[in-house]
Amino acid sequence: MEKTKKPNIFFLLIDSFRADKFYGKDKTSLTPNLDSLIKKGVYFTQTINSSPASTSAIASVLTSKWPHKVIVRGKKNHVMSHGEPNFINRLNELGYNTIALTPEYFNYAKLTTDFKKSLQFHGGLNDGIGQQITNIIDELKSPWFFFIHLLDIHGTAKNLPKQFDQKKYGFNRYERKISSMDPWLGKIFEKIDQKNTLSVITADHSTDRGIYTLKQEEIKASFNQNNLQPFANVAKKFLSKSVSKKLRGIYINKKINTKKQKQSAALQNLSELDPFQKRIQSNLINPGFNLFDDRFRIPLLFFGLDLPSKIINQQIRSVDIFPSIFDIIEEKSEMEIDGSSVMPIVSGKFIEEKPAFMQIITNWLTTKSSSDINLIGVRYNGFKYFRARHDPSTNVGLYDLRKDPLEINNLASSYTEKIIEMEQILSEFEKNTKKEINNNLSQTDFKMDNRHSNLRNGVE
């Protein structure tokens, strides 16, 4: 690569994209354009993100630091801290034209504060965002860094286009939505000069929604349905503000009560399920956070700039993404970071696997405590270990991922030596970061606001 000409960087982050639905035998969507891109680049099958919620996960990627170092409390939400340098600042210093196109929903998170230009949208590729992206690409001035955060699979995109709602495009609506994105991915990447552009496709976190049956998707969709919505809309349009507000409150309470009734009915069938199916069904009924791979294994694809075609199965971390980008474009980050470049692996060199630190920092916060978000863990050498942050003897999980990829059999009570080994690794993380955790976050004070989680569009 000639140092006199800086390459462009196209960074596409697709919210809630599961790694096994991006590439592999479990993928049932039809994505000829995406499949072609995978064949042209380097794909990492075992990329582990650092948090299961979007704000902390994306902030961690943009800074190559563990989430607790770059997330602080806002009024109602967690937000990205800009007190320390990040990779967007560094790209600005290097002369890049940095532009972000992100969901309006995430404005509160301050994830794009440091971009020279930040645009927001509501919807998905098939709602006009695909055309907007291609138009922006036509106007970009080199060298540019274009960051996009899409919500097509899980979020504010409109309904699935009718032509894609067929079995041949995927076994559930999640995969059919992936199929519906693919034509636009083809159009977008046709616009990009791959000889002078590094392209990255990844996700913020994964989701178990990708493996829902059609019946489970119907159950999930039914939770937020009731017949008072039309009346609430009419009230807002024609009645006084005070009356409209009162009727809106009745509608919201009715919606919450209806959802609780449906959830209670769905809970009755859990006893017949195996541990994996029970976990998925339980999270469908009462959404929460955990440290299982259904939330943490994400896709990561690099292509362009004459990168080789490779599939790499060694574990890497989402904090490694930007150090790798800077390695590829031959620039120094000049920042203190937690990640490291994985490009030596691409070159065929042996690099010992690094532990992936995992923690739960939600988008929303309240003053109530919750045990389900006070978990930390580590994924290393084929094992997953997690426990309660403040009590190593509580909520302990240990799984042999090679023999048990669905994380069904908890080995915590029988693999004492492995527990000790993994605890030493996790304790080292804790030791090195305890001061920052205490300064930035009081994890015991945070919980998903149930009222908001009942009413939001499922964006995490």
Domain residue spans in the chain? Answer: 8-212+290-352, 214-285, 357-455
Question: Tell me, what's the pLDDT at 354?
Answer: 96
- The percentage of residues in the chain with a pLDDT greater than 90, rounded to a whole number, is 67
Tell me how far apart the alpha carbons of residues 320 and 337 are, in angstroms, rounded to a whole number. Answer: 9
Question: Tell me, what's the pLDDT at 448?
Answer: 32
Question: Tell me, what's the pLDDT at 50?
Answer: 96
- Say how many C-beta atoms besides its own lie within 10 A of residue 330's C-beta: 11
Q: ∠ at Cα 209 (166, 289), nearest 5°?
A: 170
User: Does the structure show a pLDDT above 80 at 269?
Assistant: no
User: Does the structure show a pLDDT above 70 at 1?
Assistant: no
Question: Tell me, what's the pLDDT at 337?
Answer: 95
41-50: pLDDT as tens digits: 999 999 999 9
Question: Tell me, what's the pLDDT at 389?
Answer: 87
Dihedral sign from CA coordinates of 170, 171, 174, 175: negative
User: Does the structure show a pLDDT above 60 at 266?
Assistant: no
CA–CA distances in Å: residue 157 to residues 91, 233, 297: 30, 21, 23
50-73: pLDDT as tens digits: 999 999 999 999 999 999 999 998
Tell me how far apart the alpha carbons of residues 17 and 148 are, in angstroms, rounded to a whole number. Answer: 14
AA identity, residue 297 = R
74-110: pLDDT as tens digits: 888 999 999 888 999 999 999 999 999 999 989 999 9
Question: Tell me, what's the pLDDT at 4?
Answer: 59
Comparing 137-151, 201-215, 266-280, the range with the smallest average pLDDT is 266-280
Structure confidence at residue 32 as a pLDDT band (50, 70, 90): very high
Structure confidence at residue 262 as a pLDDT band (50, 70, 90): low
User: Does the structure show a pLDDT above 90 at 39?
Assistant: yes
User: Does the structure show a pLDDT above 70 at 444?
Assistant: no
Closest alpha carbon to 456 in 265, 227, 245, 223: 223
- Say how many C-beta atoms besides its own lie within 10 A of residue 387's C-beta: 24
357-455 carries CATH number 3.30.1120.10: yes
Closest alpha carbon to 317 in 343, 356, 361, 291: 356
329-340: pLDDT as tens digits: 999 998 999 999
The mean predicted confidence, pLDDT, of the chain is 86
Question: Tell me, what's the pLDDT at 217?
Answer: 87
Which CATH architecture best describes the domain 8-212+290-352? 3-Layer(aba) Sandwich (3.40)
404-429: pLDDT as tens digits: 999 999 999 999 999 999 999 998 88
Q: Are 100 and 118 in contact (CB under 8 A)?
A: yes
Question: Tell me, what's the pLDDT at 417?
Answer: 94
Note the pTM of the prediction, 2 decimals: 0.87
Q: Do domains 8-212+290-352 and 357-455 have the same CATH topology?
A: no
For the segment 424-435, the average pLDDT, to the nearest whole number, is 77
- The percentage of residues in the chain with a pLDDT greater than 70, rounded to a whole number, is 80
